[in-house]
Structure 1
Amino acid sequence: MPRTSWSRRTAAVAVSLTALAGCTIGGPEAAPAPADGCAALEGQTVTLVAPASPGGGFDTLARIIAEPLGGELGAQVIVENRPGAGGLLAVNRLVNAPADGRQIALMNGTGAAASVLGEAEGADFALRDLSYIGRLASEDTLLVTSPQGGTWQDALASPDFRFGSTGPGGTDYATATVLIEAFGLRGRIVTGFPGQSEAMLALLQGNIDGLIGTADDRRPPIESGEVVPILSITPERADVAPDAPAIGELDLRPEQRSLLDALLTLNELGRPLVGPAGIEPGTLECLRTAFATVAQDPDVVATAAQQRRRIGYVSGQELDAVVGRIEALPPEFVGILREALSRP
């Protein structure tokens, strides 16, 4: 496959991005210029793993970027769905794959990081076992209930608030664990749902009381009135949930603030594009440059918006720094995750 767009588009983007180096997380970031490592991928097939079943958020995002990423790399990028264990199955296989840049994956960053810190069964890797290419989407999360479920204050007063979760590897499990501890909720986490669709059905049927998910995933049922957001696990209120309080605006004790700030740090990983550790530096630079171009391309952003998805690009270099902050999170926070994830 000819690398038709690389020289024209990537060179221009690399120059323009260089002027923006040093921006804070979430803004455009300079990507390294293409190196000889691009030759290792040109004409090859690159497998992009979506750690969930077809039709969900990970699958949709992977398919949005696959073709343009292939164009930038001069390769064929194919999407492979590999669900299981909240995304941990896909990461476990990825870290043992050849570090040649031909196997990459979108990752559930919050769930994976929580599982690693909490030493969860099935998390057979460390965060440094991965190469961080860049973040595709943020992980701004909401707690929603059914229309009869009440408010956040009602959840705090509930004698038995049941969170739904796909399992310990998921963002929903980690977030619920921290909320229960930070607010002293008399709650529990109900697991065993194969996916978010099944968990949502359980919420609507009244078998669970609350469900945590990304703002993009929850937008359609919120707008249709099927569910009601009662808490935004973000510094500020989410646009899709203007009436739900945000973590950042709550009046919290210092120990609560410490736990919830740590949770927000986990969320900074979002949905990153990753590969195995040890990818040759030139090839990793090539992947990062190509991904930076695609994730900030107005056409790609517009395509994502049409499918009710928002791109939240962050560079691979910035994600390396986020991993460092995650590794330095308070022992109290890590202990909570370990205790929760070790329960039978």
Structure 2
Amino acid sequence: MLKSIKPSRKRWAFGPASVVAVVMLSASCSASGNSGGDDLSSTDITLTVGVNPGGGQDAYARFMAPYLGEELGTKVTVANQPGAGTLVAMNELAKGADDGSELVLNGGTATITFPVTQPSVTKYDPSELKYLGRISSEPNVLYARADAPFDTIDEMIEQGGFRSGAASTGSQTYTDLLVVYYALGLEPDIISGYQDSGETLLAMVRGEIDAQTGSLSSALEDLEANDFKAIAVLDHERAPELPDVPTIFEAKSLSLDEDQKTVLDTHISILETGRIIMAPPGVSEETLTELQDAFEAVVTDESVIGEAEDENLQIDPLTGQELTELMQQLSTSLPEAYTDLVGSVAD
């Protein structure tokens, strides 16, 4: 019998606006050097995010765009294309131009799981997309409103459940929550249909839901700005930023059978893919190499890393080749226990 699921991670990092809300980010911003080649220097590039302005993915896109533009010697425009938990943007990418002019920034988890959770409407294959690289990776955190009737995972289990919220079924947050419920042996109680994470956050403030999951950086912001409490880090290790918050594995009443452990470990590994930038399947190797080189130059530039830290953004990169290998490995070898669970919401 299926229950629900959630994650933990290991490091893969290397080295020391559709409604279109468009932000024109010129290539005049400072970054290291200029590795742009003849092909892309004359090509305007659109970097799409599948969510509304605001939030983590949007912030990373707006941060990365000018630096990529500088490296490539061209203009990079950020466009927001929300819909179906980022699936609309991903499907558009699948039929995108092969000249490197169309890119998408998304979470690796949604990229891998959409074909399982929404097979009839997913129009891409993760193993065929072209990957520039990973920008960041961080654990997810389960957190709740202050007056929620629990303070720990054990108390969640003891009271028999909790109410949570997400955008569409099959969205990354929905999948995260499904994994958490499964690991805790609880029946899912997820209200879906919220427009985005911001609306879900408001639902928690209003008391419509008890708890939600989010990336560590988003959770830290929400915990600081609202009367919320952190319940658990969805990882094998505690987060240095939340040293007093236990991992999900530290719950005394948590008893994982083989399938639950497989699902939880698999989801943690998928979360390792983090925030990534992709190009359409038809992009040539020459163009992809140019894009990957520019990406790597940006995420390894110490001044860029410093500016990211000033904006509370994490740079924890993987090269395009490393990310390609990881995405192909994960997307083509998901355990049956995991696909049975996350696929249980399939349209």
**Structure 1 stretches of 5 or more lacking a match?**
1-23
Whole-Å Cα distance in 1 between the matches of residues 49 and 272 of structure 2?
Answer: 19
Matched to 1:256, the amino acid is: Q
Q: Does 1:268 align with 2:272?
A: yes
Deviations 1:144-194 (A, max 9, x none): 101122222222223341121112342211111112222211331111111
Whole-Å Cα distance in 1 between the matches of residues 241 and 206 of structure 2?
Answer: 23
Alignment partner of 2:314 out of 297, 310, 313 = 310
Q: Does 1:208 align with 2:209?
A: yes
Matched to 2:47, the amino acid is: L
**Aligned partner of residue 325 in structure 2, secondary structure:** helix
**Aligned partner of residue 98 in structure 2, secondary structure:** coil
User: Offset of 1:257 from its aligned partner?
Assistant: 1.7
What is the correspondence of 1:58-77 to structure 2 with a 5 Å cutoff?
A: 58-77=57-76
Identity of aligned residues (%): 30
Query: Relative contact order, CA 8 A, sep 6+: which one is greater?
Result: 2
**Aligned partner of residue 38 in structure 2, secondary structure:** helix
**Aligned partner of residue 125 in structure 1, secondary structure:** coil
Residue number in structure 1 paired with 2:19: none
RMSD over aligned Cα, in angstroms? 2.1
Contact 1:165–1:189 (CA under 8 A) maintained in structure 2: yes
| Number of aligned residues | 314
Assess, with a 3 A threshold, how the Cα gap between structure 1 residues 139 and 118 changes in structure 2: closer, same or farther: farther
Q: Does 1:329 align with 2:334?
A: yes
Matched to 1:157, the amino acid is: E
Question: TM-score normalised to the size of structure 1?
Answer: 0.85
Matched to 1:311, the amino acid is: I
Matched to 2:54, the amino acid is: G
Whole-Å Cα distance in 1 between the matches of residues 275 and 176 of structure 2?
Answer: 15
User: Offset of 1:306 from its aligned partner?
Assistant: 2.0
Q: Does 1:340 align with 2:341?
A: no
Q: Does 1:277 align with 2:281?
A: yes
Assess, with a 3 A threshold, how the Cα gap between structure 1 residues 240 and 205 changes in structure 2: closer, same or farther: farther
Write out the 4+ residue segments of structure 1 that deviate beyond 6 Å after TM superposition.
Answer: none
User: Offset of 1:303 from its aligned partner?
Assistant: 2.1
**Aligned partner of residue 123 in structure 1, secondary structure:** coil
Residue number in structure 2 paired with 1:259: 263
Residue number in structure 2 paired with 1:158: 159
**Aligned partner of residue 189 in structure 2, secondary structure:** strand
Residue number in structure 2 paired with 1:182: 183
Matched to 2:56, the amino acid is: G
Residue number in structure 2 paired with 1:27: 14
User: Offset of 1:47 from its aligned partner?
Assistant: 0.7
**Structure 2 stretches of 5 or more lacking a match?**
1-10, 17-33
**Aligned partner of residue 240 in structure 1, secondary structure:** coil
Assess, with a 3 A threshold, how the Cα gap between structure 1 residues 319 and 214 changes in structure 2: closer, same or farther: same
Whole-Å Cα distance in 2 between the matches of residues 98 and 161 of structure 1?
Answer: 44
Residue number in structure 1 paired with 2:29: none
User: Offset of 1:254 from its aligned partner?
Assistant: 3.2
Deviations 1:42-97 (A, max 9, x none): 12211111221112211111111111111111111111111111111111001101
Question: TM-score normalised to the size of structure 2?
Answer: 0.84
Whole-Å Cα distance in 2 between the matches of residues 262 and 124 of structure 1?
Answer: 24
Residue number in structure 2 paired with 1:243: 244
Residue number in structure 1 paired with 2:22: none
Q: Does 1:43 align with 2:48?
A: no
